Amino acid sequence: MLQTKIHNITLKNPVMTASGTFGYGEEFADFVDLNKLGGIVVKGTTGDRRQGNPYPRMAETPSGMLNAVGLQNVGVETFCKDVYHRIKDLDTNIIVNVSGSSIEEYCKTAAMIDKLDKIPAIELNISCPNVKKGGMGFGTDPAMAAQVVSEVRKIYHKTLIVKLTPNVTSVVEIAKAVEGAGADSVSLINTMLGMAIDVEKQRPYLSTITGGLSGPAVKPVAVRMVWQVAHAVSIPVIGLGGIASAADALEFLMAGAKAIQVGTANFIDPSITMKIIDGLEDYCKRHSINDINDIIGII
């Protein structure tokens, strides 16, 4: 009833977890039956181990939060040697979020992940700044987005999902560019660039001044972007941004997403993904829907 497909991977249900919000899954094993998830997108992984930004890295804002974690992770080598063996036998789709500061770094990571049998897909996080191009985001320029995707496409042979940033004038233009460059699917949205100031201390809350906004506050923007992109490309769209209930997930599905990811909501209720899956099942029963795909993209 809930089974869905992204390119050639089958998901038990459309509910996945969003990169950077669910660790490697292990952190949530006491709260969630990980094998019940449609998929787990693990932490952003880079060519080398990264320390990330200095503390403070988060601030709560109305119905959301800002973060400036800055891609702290163990690096692709440790991921392959160590983390992978701890999680590879889970009965769900484990997808690695691949991040980087240069095309070479993206390619190095993608090539190493390509060799891991139990990883059916990568999610290319193109919201990162390109250090070789003055820090301009890969994902904010259609030509640069297409270039990184086509280079990774040459060396990566499994399902290639490209994660889009909302910090652009036209997300449709970027989506079309990465589709043209060989992406098998797009996921959106990554966090929205934001900022908050502690007026008592007269300084920004984040060490980096600006950071990424996530949580329910971004949901209407995310639904709008998913709807626009789903109508503009023919590859499957994965929707995320502020999902905290089955009803939220259904909004994204109806707007055209074949699957959804849950991020910040995991912090508020670590068992939320199970509730969303149950809620989707319940919705289908109540509305006599035999196949969840029947409501995907009905708007």
Ligand X SMILES: Cc1cc2nc3c(=O)[nH]c(=O)nc-3n(C[C@H](O)[C@H](O)[C@H](O)COP(=O)(O)O)c2cc1C
Q: What letters, b where the CB count within 10 A reaches 16 and e where it falls short, cover 221-260?
A: bbbebbbbbbebbebbbbbbbbbbbbebbbbbbbbbbbbb
Among 16, 65, 160, 230, binds other proteins (CB under 8 A): 65
23 binds, among ligand X, other proteins, none (CB under 5 to 8 A by kind): other proteins
The contacts of residue 123 (CB under 8 Å, 6+ apart) are 19, 41, 95, 96, 97, 98, 161, 162, 163, 187
Q: According to the binding rule CB under 6 A, does residue 176 interact with ligand X? A: no
Rounded-to-integer distance, Cα 292 and Cα 1, Å: 6
The contacts of residue 120 (CB under 8 Å, 6+ apart) are 9, 93, 94, 95, 158, 159
- Contact of 140 with 126, CB cutoff 8 Å: no
46 binds, among other proteins, ligand X, none (CB under 5 to 8 A by kind): none
Q: According to the binding rule CB under 8 A, does residue 220 interact with other proteins? A: no
72 binds, among ligand X, other proteins, none (CB under 5 to 8 A by kind): other proteins
Rounded-to-integer distance, Cα 259 and Cα 238, Å: 5
243 binds, among ligand X, other proteins, none (CB under 5 to 8 A by kind): ligand X
Our CB check for ligand X shows the closer of 206 and 292 to be 206
Q: According to the binding rule CB under 8 A, does residue 216 interact with other proteins? A: yes
Closest approach of other proteins to the CB of residue 223, in Å: 19
Among 2, 56, 111, 281, binds other proteins (CB under 8 A): 56
Q: Which residues pair with 259 in a beta bridge?
A: 238
Q: According to the binding rule CB under 8 A, does residue 2 interact with other proteins? A: no
The count of residues interacting with other proteins (CB under 8 A) is 33
Our CB check for ligand X shows the closer of 16 and 80 to be 16
How many helices and strands (H and E) does the chain possess?
9, 18
Closest approach of other proteins to the CB of residue 96, in Å: 16
Q: According to the binding rule CB under 6 A, does residue 125 interact with ligand X? A: yes
* β-pair type (64-67, 58-61): antiparallel
Nearest Cα residue to 159 out of 127, 190, 182, 128: 182
Q: According to the binding rule CB under 6 A, does residue 221 interact with ligand X? A: no
Distances (CA, A) of 280 to 10, 51, 94, 245, 299: 17, 38, 21, 9, 18
Nearest Cα residue to 121 out of 240, 259, 293: 259
Q: According to the binding rule CB under 6 A, does residue 272 interact with ligand X? A: no
Our CB check for ligand X shows the closer of 193 and 289 to be 193
Rounded to 5 degrees, φ, ψ at 6 are: -120, 110
80 in catalytic set: no
278 binds, among ligand X, other proteins, none (CB under 5 to 8 A by kind): none
Among 191, 204, 253, 256, binds ligand X (CB under 6 A): 191
- Contact of 74 with 51, CB cutoff 8 Å: no
Which residues contribute to the site for ligand X (CB under 6 A)?
A: 18-21, 43-44, 67, 69, 71, 97, 99, 125, 163, 190-191, 214-215, 218, 240-243, 262-265
Which residues contribute to the site for other proteins (CB under 8 A)?
A: 20-23, 27-28, 30-31, 51-52, 54-60, 62-65, 67, 69, 72, 215-216, 264, 266-271
